[in-house]
């Protein structure tokens, strides 16, 4: 590979250079092609990934575990009752000890501070499988999907409709790394964190990408090449569910909204979807939807990350 990424952490896409993001995506394309050619790829033979989960998961657990197996390595699942991060044992001690056992650590946590502490004290690569602030592996899979469907990433318009959550944060970071314009339409009071917006805008200036945060979903999807949505209530915010349903009702991805985008627009959703809330059955099951391909590409993007970092 052109850039040596061995030993590097993946806590945030913002920490990666533009060249590193492109290398991850190009490596993912090669790994996926070889997978479908039924070639063995023992890139991680003898390597072990420790997987720490504070939150339940379908895609994150299965895709990382499968990815390690397909690349010749192994993965160990450590659930909420196996490791009580910061409770039964200090996070820094967990990071130090696990580093003596495994080749890398993937963590899915509530607090982003825990992710940062793991990365600080671990001597092996730490990969952010999700935190309350960021979801970088999801967005690398998303970028791979858009590139496959559109043939490029630069000079495209991505419209994100919904909550300014961890996915929105990582989409901001990811879009500007690849020269994509991104417009977020969010209800007032649910904007992404100001610090994330400012960091993304600093990066956007270097490559002339455009970032907009607005409140009108119709305006956001005008001329969009891709439309993205996520659940209105993320894990940890369940008590706000009913209030959020009222606030987000005008932000549903439905056929009327879809009609305002380009004819060849693609629809993305990181899943799980609350059908009938943020997106209708008609759209998520319709011809513009690429959500199942998007879910698959988590596997290939993460295999690329594992191969490059471990």
Is 260 annotated in the active site?
no
Q: Are strands 157-161 and 211-214 parallel, antiparallel or unpaired?
A: unpaired
Residue 24 confidence (pLDDT) above 90: yes
| Catalytic pick among 23, 54, 70, 138 | 138
Note whether 66 and 27 are same-domain residues: yes
* Residue pLDDT, tens place only, 186-205: 999 999 999 999 999 999 99
Instruction: Determine the pLDDT at residue 244.
Output: 95
Note whether 41 and 123 are same-domain residues: yes
Note whether 288 and 303 are same-domain residues: no
Task: Establish if 7 belongs to a structural domain.
Answer: no
Sign of CA dihedral 111, 213, 220, 210: negative
| Catalytic pick among 270, 288, 294, 300 | 270
Note whether 304 and 266 are same-domain residues: no
Instruction: Determine the pLDDT at residue 1.
Output: 58
Instruction: Determine the pLDDT at residue 3.
Output: 94
Residue 236 confidence (pLDDT) above 90: no
Is 294 annotated in the active site?
no
Is 270 annotated in the active site?
yes
Note whether 78 and 62 are same-domain residues: yes
Q: Determine the longest span between alpha carbons in the chain, in angstroms.
A: 55
Task: Establish if 6 belongs to a structural domain.
Answer: no
Note whether 181 and 235 are same-domain residues: yes
Is 137 annotated in the active site?
no
Task: Establish if 85 belongs to a structural domain.
Answer: yes
Is 264 annotated in the active site?
no
Note whether 91 and 194 are same-domain residues: no
Task: Establish if 303 belongs to a structural domain.
Answer: yes
Note whether 156 and 287 are same-domain residues: yes
Note whether 150 and 208 are same-domain residues: yes
Task: Establish if 8 belongs to a structural domain.
Answer: no
**Residue 172: which domain range?**
138-295
Note whether 56 and 97 are same-domain residues: yes
Task: Establish if 5 belongs to a structural domain.
Answer: no
Question: Mean pLDDT across the chain, nearest whole number?
Answer: 96
Task: Establish if 196 belongs to a structural domain.
Answer: yes
| Catalytic pick among 135, 169, 269, 300 | 135
Note whether 116 and 219 are same-domain residues: no
Distances (CA, A) of 234 to 163, 216, 217, 238, 278: 9, 21, 20, 7, 12
DSSP the chain: --S--TT--BS-GGGS-HHHHHHHHHHHHHHHHHHHTT----TTTT-EEEEEESS--SHHHHHHHHHHHHTT-EEEEE-TTT--BTTTB-HHHHHHHHHHH-SEEEEE-S-HHHHHHHHHH-SS-EEEEE-SS--HHHHHHHHHHHHHHHS--TT-EEEEES--SHHHHHHHHHHHHTT-EEEEE--TT-PPPHHHHHHHHHHHHHHT--EEEES-HHHHHTT-SEEEE--SS-TT-GGGHHHHHHHHGGG-B-HHHHTTS-TT-EEEE-S---BTTTB-HHHHTSTTB-HHHHHHHHHHHHHHHHHHH-
- Domain with residue 47: its CATH number is 3.40.50.1370
* Residue pLDDT, tens place only, 215-232: 999 999 999 999 999 999
Count the domains in the chain: 2
Please tell me the distance from the alpha carbon of residue 185 to that of residue 138, in angstroms, as a whole number.
Answer: 20
Please tell me the distance from the alpha carbon of residue 84 to that of residue 7, in angstroms, as a whole number.
Answer: 25
Task: Establish if 246 belongs to a structural domain.
Answer: yes
Residue 81 confidence (pLDDT) above 90: no
Distances (CA, A) of 46 to 43, 75, 233, 250: 9, 11, 40, 51
Instruction: Determine the pLDDT at residue 241.
Output: 87
| Catalytic pick among 59, 61, 108, 269 | 108
Note whether 224 and 277 are same-domain residues: yes
């Amino acid at each position: 590979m052109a850039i040596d990424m061995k030993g590097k952490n993946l806590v945030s896409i913002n920490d990666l250079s533009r060249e590193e993001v492109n290398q991850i995506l190009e490596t993912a394309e090669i790994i996926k092609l070889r997978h479908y050619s039924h070639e063995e790829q023992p890139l991680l033979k003898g390597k072990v990934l420790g997987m720490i989960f504070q939150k339940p998961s379908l895609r994150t657990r299965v895709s990382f575990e499968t990815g390690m197996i397909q690349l010749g390595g192994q993965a160990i699942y450590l659930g909420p009752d196996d490791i009580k991060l910061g409770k039964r044992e200090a996070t820094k001690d967990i990071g130090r000890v696990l580093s003596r056992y495994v080749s890398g650590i993937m963590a899915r946590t509530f607090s982003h501070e825990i992710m940062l502490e793991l990365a600080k004290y671990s001597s092996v690569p730490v990969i952010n499988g999700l935190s309350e602030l960021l979801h970088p592996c999801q967005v690398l899979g998303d970028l791979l999907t858009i590139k496959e469907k559109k043939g490029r990433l630069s000079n495209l318009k991505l419209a994100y409709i919904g909550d300014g959550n961890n996915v929105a944060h990582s989409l901001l970071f990811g879009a500007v790394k690849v020269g994509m314009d991104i417009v977020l339409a969010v209800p007032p009071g649910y904007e992404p964190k100001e610090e994330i917006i400012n960091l993304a805008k600093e990066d956007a200036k270097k490559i002339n990408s455009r970032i907009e945060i607005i409140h009108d979903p119709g305006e956001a999807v005008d001329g969009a090449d891709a439309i993205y949505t996520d659940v209105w209530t993320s894990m940890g915010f369940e008590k706000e569910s009913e209030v959020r349903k009222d606030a987000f009702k005008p932000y549903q991805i439905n056929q009327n909204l879809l009609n305002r985008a380009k004819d060849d627009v693609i629809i993305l959703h990181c899943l799980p979807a609350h059908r009938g809330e943020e997106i209708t059955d008609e759209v998520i099951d319709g011809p513009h939807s690429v959500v199942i391909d998007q879910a698959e590409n988590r596997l290939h993007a993460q295999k690329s990350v594992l191969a490059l970092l471990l």
